[in-house]
Structure 1
Amino acid sequence: MRFSAVPMIFFKPMVLERTMALEEWFPIAASLGLDGTEIHDRSLASFEPEYLDRIGQALADHGLVVSQFVGAADFTHPDPDVRERELAITKRNIDAAVRLGATCVRVTAGQAHPGVSREQGIEWAVAGLREAAEYAAQRGVWAAYEDHYKDYFWERPDFSQRGEIFLEILDRLRDTPLKVNFDFGNPVMIGEDPIALLREVVDRVVHVHCSDRHQGEYPHQIAGEGSVDFAAGFRILRDAGYDGWLSSEYNGTQGLDGLKRSLEYLRRTWEAVQAERE
């Protein structure tokens, strides 16, 4: 199994304050024994080819690859011009992911905007995600739709945060190349069962966010100390023959130590689940 991480513990200096360059994370990631890292679109200083090539070389210098390129499209916005802009940003992200050698790009439905009905929101989300998935396939990567809670820069939670809406959107896009970036912790946030949801979508999962939470608490817990039953989830992935990425997502108060402990737990748990079959 390949392990990656979202450098959420450095989100403030890297994205909000711009006091830490993305490349400064790479030696840290390598020291954690990671095979790859995720890259958030807002962590990049530029989308110019020369800059992206420098990032790609810096990754290679540390023995890393990009497991997933992360964006947060708002395809449910009531303004069609905004939806068109969000699609353009998503295509830009896909192009950047291809240049960086990523295999998938995280995509989202959009925000739960006031006044947007369930059916209208689903229609808009399906339209945007369809175009994103088809464009990604043309470029040789996956668009991976996440069971998402809320982006940092959004005012509102995700329109499809509830499992039933997420599944309906996925079902309407079954004829497309759309895949899933499964996040263990997001359903917990709203009191839903991530294990039940995983059973429904495991055949389309290409990347996994191993986040842990307690219901109603936005900050992540160290993996294994929240409410997620990772052993049960890993058994589902194992039995489905999943061989993609397990990516640790941690933004809690323990910083780098919390990320280290999360990774140790995830590796140990995956190995134990694999050993059950030996």
Structure 2
Amino acid sequence: MNYSTNRRQFLSTSIAAAGALAAQPVGAIEPINRVPGHQFKLSLAAYSYRDLLTGNPPKLTLSDFIQDCARFGIEAAELTSYYFPESPDAEYLRRLKGECFLQGLDISGTAIRNDFCLPAGEQREADIAHVKRWIEYADMLDAPVIRIFAGKVQPGQSMADAEKLVIDGIEQCCQYAAKYGVFLALENHGGITTKVDDMLRIVHGVESPWFGVNLDTGNFRTADPYGDLAKLAPYTINAQVKVVMHPDGRPGEASDYNRLADILMTTGYRGYVVLEYEEGGDPRQECPKALEELRKAFT
């Protein structure tokens, strides 16, 4: 692929390859077009094991987590970056890749912390370098996508200026990601992505074909979180499901997995559905229960 290809050209090529036409107006960004139907593959985020994978020493390792994912009978594991050594070498990354392969697991992706709202300067450059470094690591792992954040408005910064900085940071990193065939997925993760319309302005502003949305079902604390998720669904390249949702003005309530599955089915989503368990109890006991419920809904 020509790495300078913009998103519209890339998606148009995908449409032609699939033998489908998109009857929609041309915009700065277009929904992802896939062959008819849907396909869901279950994964589990290592963040679900956060209390077990941290500590001195941690109770479990990523290898233990991989073994559990295999026992749970799912298709993949998300190897969240927070639980890696600070500077993992190629041997370590390829060993994890090999462990997943031998257990019949894909690596559905990884996730990093970053803030693209930071103004020009040393800290911003360090964050961009961090994203690029994890693009290289993802390539070694054969992880197809990295979950990224937008960040939050900095002191003295307008929303419009923050959005421009985020779009610029994403474009810079996507240009690098294209060299490795790794996608970057922006998560609705508070900050300037707290509201769906604000997030969509960023999504529409990015032209790289190596970009999309990480749909986090638990992060919109709005009056109609399901409706907001539906607005993002057409751009989703990775779906992350929480056990609980937090509609504005109401206490947390159990996620309606069937409704979430319908939202993704409607857009013809094909990809990983990643459980990120954040509730109480032993995740080694609770995650397989939640995954079983997800399996029933996401079929």
TM-score bracket for this pair, using the shorter chain length = 0.7 to 0.9
Matched, 1:25 2:56: no
Query: Which residue is equivalent to 1:212?
Result: 243
1:268 counterpart = 2:299:
no
Identity %: 24
Q: 1:215 to 1:203 in 2, by over 3 A?
A: closer
Is residue 223 of structure 2 the alignment partner of residue 196 of structure 1? no
Amino acid of the structure 2 residue aligned with 1:98: D
1: CA distance between counterparts of 2:244 and 2:124? 31
Alpha-carbon distance between aligned partners in 1 of 2:218 and 2:192, rounded to the nearest angstrom: 17
Higher alpha-carbon Rg: 2
Alignment partner of 1:12 is 2:40: no
Partner of 1:136: 177
User: Is 2:281 the partner of 1:254?
Assistant: yes
How far 1:59 moved relative to its partner?
1.5
2:202 is the counterpart of 1:169: yes
| Structure 1 residue 18 displacement after superposition | 4.6
Aligned 1:175-186 pairs, distance under 5 A: 176-186=209-219
Query: Match of 1:76, SS?
Result: coil
Residue 171 of structure 2 contacts residue 208 of structure 2 at CA under 8 Å; is this kept in 1? Answer: no
Equivalents in 2 of 1:235, 1:5: separation in Å?
20
Q: Secondary structure at the match of 1:159?
A: helix
- If asked which structure has higher relative contact order (CA below 8 Å, sep 6+), I would say 2
SS of equivalent to 1:185:
coil
Report the CA distance shift for 1:68/1:192 in structure 2 as closer, same or farther (over 3 A).
Answer: farther
User: Alpha-carbon deviation of 1:233?
Assistant: 2.4
| Residue pair 2:136, 2:180 contacting (<8 A) in 1 also | yes
User: Which whole-Å deviations, capped at 9, do the CAs of 1:60-99 have from their partners, x for residues lacking one?
Assistant: 2222121011112111124521111111100111111111
Structure 1 alignment gaps of length 5 or more: 150-157, 272-278
Aligned residues of 1:7 and 1:25 also touching (Cα < 8 A): yes
Query: Where does residue 68 of structure 1 map in the other structure?
Result: 109
Take 1:129 and 1:29, find their aligned partners in 2: how far apart are those partners? 31
Match of 2:269, SS state, is coil
On the 8 A contact 1:9/1:255 being kept in 2, the answer is no
- Of residues 62-71 and 16-25 in structure 1, the stretch that sits farther from structure 2 once superposed is 16-25
Size of the alignment, in residue pairs? 254
Query: What letter matches 1:230 in structure 2?
Result: Y
Q: CA deviation at 1:208?
A: 0.4
Q: Is the 8 A contact 1:107 1:129 kept in 2?
A: no
Match of residue 141 from structure 2: 100
CA distance in 1, matches of 2:236, 2:263: 11
Cα deviation 1:191-249 (Å, max 9, x = unaligned): 243322233222221110011324289xxx7xxxx353332221121132211001111
| 68, 93, 99: which one aligns with 1:58 | 99
What SS does the corresponding residue of 1:123 show, helix, strand or coil? helix
Contact 2:233 2:267 in 1 (8 A): yes
Q: Deviations over 1:93-152 (max 9, x none)?
A: 111111101111111111343332211111111111111222222211211111113xxx
Instruction: Give the CA deviation at 1:54.
Output: 1.2
| Contact residue 195 and residue 229 of structure 1 kept, 8 A | no
Q: Is the 8 A contact 2:243 2:279 kept in 1?
A: no
2:175–2:208 Cα contact (<8 Å) kept: no
Corresponding letter in the other structure for 2:99? A
Structure 2 unaligned segments of length 5 or more: list them. 1-39
